[in-house]
Amino acid sequence: MQSTAIILAAGMGTRMKSSLPKTLHRLAGRSMLRHLLASCESVFDRIVVVLGPGMDAVRKEAEPHICVVQNERLGTAHAALQAIEHFGDGQVAVLYADNPLIRAATLQRLLDTRKPMSLSLMAFRPADPARYGRVITGSDGLVVRIVEYADATPEERSLRLCNAGVLCGGADEMTRWLQAVRNNNAAGEYYLTDLVALARAEGREVRAVEAPADELAGVNSRNELSRAEAVLQGWMREEAMTAGVTMVDPASVFLSHDTKLANDVTIEPNVFFGPGVTVESNVTIKAFCHIEGAHIGTGGIVGPFARLRPGATLEKDVHIGNFVEIKASHLAEGVKASHLSYIGDTSVGAATNIGAGTITCNYDGINKHRTKIGANVFVGSDVALVAPVSVGDGAILAAGSVITEDVEADALALARGRQVQKPGRAPEMRSAAQRLKESAQAAAKKEVN
């Protein structure tokens, strides 16, 4: 029998104060919806996402999973009902896209804990229970009822076990209970939590599966989004360090959901990883680097204050220094670019040295062009290579050159104007400049008077 996850994602998230649907806001470079989908994909056989009308961007984010539309927002039970034809014949769990941090192991425990013909719900103990609904249990540990904060007595409010909203039951029971929910409440909505009372009325067990509060806290505002980011970053840092990564100041390192760090990588403070980064072993990333869409080979050194943009591939023992930017470029083994350079749309051969201030001029205002620099090339300081251009192996490019034509292997290329010297001219120029300055000051003073 197949298990099915129903993810409710129809909410617009007005508290986010954003034109972007709530579930598309990102944590560690990935939408909240994709985080939850990733957990569900390793546990459930089928996933159905319930959208609101006109939410094409959310539909695209949910691909390739089934999507159904809740045309009228009449409550959570009504939303789950829209997916009823996809329930199948196994277990059905209803989750919320704004609970993005539920881990796969927790979802698996939810399925494994539920007994046949019963209902399970997820519960947690937040540090501040605040206005969460409370889960009331009996002496046997089974759930008796859920009471909303507004309806709870002072004694019930003192309880710390709170409802996370996630429910799991057999497909037949979930279908029957959802169809039996009524909207006789102040809001006129069909509430998913009513399933607890319906199951109890049939004499069915309702069991609370307790999970860590960090996994179950909802995200409904920018403040809550930032707290979820902090939780997720903490998990990823711990996982990386457990696997052999050194972080000098873990709290200042920001990882993406897909960052891959090998053992014996050292990361100094204030480093940001965007999506698509792989770092091989024995790499040092110095402070204040920004890295996304890049591959860093074994033994590399990057930074401080370096930027690796998408398409940057650094092979073994490449050294990238301060204020160097690499984009859509391949740097072969042993390349060094130590200072103040931009390398874009370029291939650089092994053991080549890129001097300070080097720029590959890859954009002509309309199209991007590539530069090819061979192996064992020495590029002097302040060299501009105007693409498309090719430099052969072993060539030397003299400092200050503007290279506009291909350079042969082992050639010395000089492309700069001849220096002209005028003896004694400097004092004359300083005197002339001083007279102009005094004249301008006198005119300004006269105008004021």
Largest CA distance in the chain: 106
The pair of structure tokens assigned to 417 is 């104007």
Secondary structure class of 406 (helix, strand, coil): coil
Question: Are 186 and 75 in contact, with CB atoms under 8 Å apart?
Answer: no
Residue with token string 């056989």: 45
- How far is it, in rounded angstroms, from Cα 111 to Cα 106? 9
The pair of structure tokens assigned to 44 is 């459930």
Helices and strands, number each (H, E), in the chain: 10, 38
User: Residue type for 348, please?
Assistant: V
Beta strand 30-31 with 26-27 is: antiparallel
> In which region does residue 382 sit, left (phi positive, over 0), alpha (psi from -120 to 50) or beta (all else)?
left
- How far is it, in rounded angstroms, from Cα 9 to Cα 67? 10
Secondary structure class of 384 (helix, strand, coil): strand
Alpha carbon 165 to chain centroid, angstroms: 26
Radius of gyration of the chain (CA): 31
- How far is it, in rounded angstroms, from Cα 432 to Cα 33? 68
CA triple 402-404-410, angle to 5 deg:
85
Instruction: Name the DSSP class of 128.
Output: S
Active site residue 330: no
- How far is it, in rounded angstroms, from Cα 142 to Cα 131? 22
CA triple 347-350-353, angle to 5 deg:
85
Q: CB-based contacts of 60: which residues, under 8 Å, 6+ apart?
A: none
Catalytic residue among 86, 290, 330, 339: 339
Question: Are 163 and 146 in contact, with CB atoms under 8 Å apart?
Answer: yes
DSSP letters spanning 278-327: EE-TT-EE-SS-EE-SEEE-TT-EE-SS-EE-TTEEE-TT-EEEET-EEE
The pair of structure tokens assigned to 98 is 């704004």
Secondary structure class of 131 (helix, strand, coil): coil
- Residues belonging to the active site: 339
